[in-house]
Amino acid sequence: MNSFAIEKQLPSNPIESNKVLHICSQCTRTFKDINNFREHLFQEHGELGVNVRQCHLCSYATLLKSKYDCHIVRKRKTSAAI
């Protein structure tokens, strides 16, 4: 089963009533943000996304550009300190 297919409407709070809740079919964790949901599937369950960002200095990989950018900055600082 494709984990991206399971979605449920959030109840009660009228401000968030039109937001979709993404539910992982493998561990039942829930996510309001699709990017966090996809990152979870990649990191925890090994499901590959279309935009995997792989560090050229180590084995780190992520789907989120912001996490990749932070990782690269930390790696550069570490490399410069050595």
User: How many domains, in total, are found in the chain?
Assistant: 2
Rounded to whole angstroms, the Cα distance separating 75 from 70 reads 9
pTM of the predicted model as reported, rounded to 2 decimal places? 0.55
Which range of residues forms the domain containing residue 26? 1-49
Tens of each residue's pLDDT in the chain, 82 residues:
444 555 454 455 555 556 779 999 999 899 999 889 988 998 888 887 668 889 998 999 888 889 999 999 998 888 777 6
Query: Domain check: are 21 and 36 in the same one?
Result: yes
What's the 3-state SS for 22-33?
Answer: EECCCCCCEECC
Pairing state between β 20-23 and 30-31: antiparallel
Query: Domain check: are 3 and 21 in the same one?
Result: yes
Neighbouring-strand partners of residue 8: 21
Rounded to whole angstroms, the Cα distance separating 11 from 13 reads 6
